[in-house]
Structure 1
Amino acid sequence: MSEDFSAWVGRREEVVDVLEPARTNALRVAALGQTTPLVAGDELPLLHHWLYFWDVRPPEGLGPDGHPARGGFLPPVPLPRRMWAGGRLKFLAPLKVGERVTRASTILKVEAKSGKSGELVFVTVEHQLSGAEGVAIVEEQDIVYRGAAAPGSIKGPTGEGPAPTAPWRRAVDPDPVLLFRYSALTMNGHRIHYDRPYAMDEEAYPGLVVHGPLQATLLADLAAQNLKAPITGFDFRGMSPAFDGTTLQVCGEPTETGASVWTEQGGVKNMTAAITCGAAR
């Protein structure tokens, strides 16, 4: 790729939001099946900070895929497909529902690569979230841009597959309603999650795509339910896309340092994550 995006490295922005309870409670009901509401002062569940800090643009500020138009804070990479490939989080202190939080973001790295699937551009962004008691979360997000996919090149699961044997597991139906709700709660306009003709005809997917952050949130919740020590680290990576129409198996098992968790469809892993636990906070 001939474009030079080195000028974007080091770019910073700050945004402020209030972690109002309606969004986290809506996700807890829609995705996690929990009906006891959280109130101001309760700890925000892990990864629910992704529900806040919306980047709302007017219609003329959107690209054809429903994302904000290229440019602005992130570099204007011309490759048509953009996805959140994974990330690393350190939980230093809990955030509280109702708290006013500042998110300071910095572009750490922009790398262009060529592989079997064509040109790729990787952008790494660091977010530091600070509440009343200082920095609570340090997060690195890996965003990948890639070329258009050929029709039929992205395969979905061929069936439900064998039942997983993991000691921790939960079956989730990633139906269009759940995907729409998560898109709405995160103000994620990417059409691959709710617009089936666009997902299939324009981006060559075999169905609606299950959000990576939604899968990560399900994994973090599964681990939090089964681990006694507090979670201090969460490193996750997307392996293959997950789609609606097939049960999403949310699985995990304990390790010496915390847990290994993953999602799978039809026996194929979609996302994996390593969880680290620490001393009580």
Structure 2
Amino acid sequence: MQDQPAPEVSDEIRATCESYVGRSRETRDTLAPEPAEKLAALLGARVEERLPPTWHWAYFNPGIPLTDQGHDLHERTGIFLPPAPFDRRMWAAGDVTVLEPLALGAPAVRRSTIADVAFKQGKSGAMCFVTVRHEIEQDGAARIREDQTIVYRDRGAPTPALRAPGDPVPEGYATYPEGKLFFYSAVTHNGHRIHWDRDFCRRVEGYPDLVVHGPLMATELCDALRGEDIRPLRFRYRAEAPVFLTTPVRIVTDAPGEPREGVIRRSDGVASMRGTLMQP
């Protein structure tokens, strides 16, 4: 079913959300080595003087005042992001261009702008897609350009579990350890309750278990595609289906080439995330 405009969203709500296009904010951070080192330990990777692609998500995450937190512990919509009329939030897609890897130990600035707001109707119901355009500068030069797409959806019917906790994991697949979700939330300063609060997942969001972070899967897919290479590159990715704590998955990549594609596939054959690595 192809996405279509969502007729149930009123013109007033649509206009209010679309009026946020062009809003911007600036976030400064010093890229201390410690978050990158913690992320490297979590991913079983290594980091030296320059930050690997997508690892910048461990930075530029300022604290959110308690009065600005929503029920899911994200910053409330209507402050920077538009007041989408739906409760479920997911990191849907992205397009990251690394012009030059960021240097650890040095200050940097990220400028974020609401680039687009679009309402659509899909199989799961009405959705609001918000695209945030980020540009990260260091030493006065652009280092990373990124489009981040967030989707807000109706809660709808509960999502069924793919596998019971006691069922065997198929050969060649693995599930995410709960500790990996917890420590990724910590290193990225991500308080979203779907990643650590099982009761919230089941009773409020209608998920069968904790939800694996979209950016965590995107980073793992990007790392699998690039190997040890941290030269300038472009990485495009799209989330297609959720992965929960008990969901068996595996990463599949094609042969090295230009571009190079990969997928995180669930044991039921569904592609959870697709990514493409190419020259910038």
TM-score (norm 2): 0.87
Tell me, in whole angstroms, the C-alpha distance in 1 between the residues paired with 2:157 and 2:22: 35
Q: Corresponding residue for 2:33?
A: 21
Quick check: 1:218 aligned with 2:230? Answer: no
The 2-side partners of 1:68 and 1:174 are apart by 26
| Superimposed CA distance per residue, residues 201-222 of structure 1 (whole angstroms, 9 cap, x where no aligned partner) | 2111111111010001111211
Alignment of 1:1-281 (within 5 A): 1-2=9-10, 3=13, 4=15, 5-30=17-42, 32-34=43-45, 38=48, 42-132=49-139, 134-151=141-158, 153-157=159-163, 160-161=169-170, 163=172, 173-225=175-227, 230=231, 232-254=233-255, 256-266=257-267, 267-277=269-279
Distance, in Å, in 2 between the alignment partners of 1:126 and 1:251 is 29
Q: Is the 8 A contact 1:231 1:276 kept in 2?
A: no
Report percent identity of matched pairs. Answer: 37
What is the CA–CA distance in structure 2 between the aligned matches of 1:23 and 1:172, rounded to whole Å? 26
Shift of 1:55: 3.3
AA aligned to 1:251 is: V
CA distance in 2, matches of 1:84, 1:270: 12
For the 8 Å contact 1:231–1:275, the answer to whether it is kept is no
| Amino acid corresponding to residue 139 of structure 2 in structure 1 | A
Q: Which amino acid aligns with 1:263?
A: I
- 2:27 maps to a residue whose letter is V
Change (3 A) 1:46 1:150: same
**How many Å apart are 1:173 and its aligned residue?**
4.2
- Per the TM alignment, residue 118 of structure 1 is displaced from its structure 2 partner at its CA by 2.0
Superposed CA deviations along residues 204-245 of structure 1, whole A, max 9, x for unmatched, are 11111110100011112112227x694511000001111113
Query: Offset at 1:258?
Result: 3.1
Task: Please give the secondary structure, in 1, of the residue aligned with 2:176.
Answer: coil
* Mapped contact 1:157–1:265 kept (Cα < 8 A): no
How far does the alpha carbon of each residue in 1:4-31 deviate from its partner, in whole angstroms, 9 at most, with x for none? 222111111111101111001001101x
Which runs of at least 4 in structure 1 moved beyond 4 Å after TM superposition?
A: none
- Unaligned stretches of 5+ in structure 1? 164-170
Aligned-pair distance for 1:33? Answer: 1.6
Q: Distance in 2 between matches of 1:247 and 1:259?
A: 24
SS in 1 for 2:149: strand
CA distance in 2, matches of 1:108, 1:229: 27
In structure 2, what residue type is equivalent to 1:260? Answer: E
- The residue matched to 1:94 in structure 2 has which SS? coil
Q: How many residues align?
A: 264
* Cα deviation, residue 255, structure 1: 5.3
Q: CA deviation at 1:161?
A: 4.1
Aligned-pair CA distance for 1:71:
1.5
**Aligned with 2:211: secondary structure?**
coil
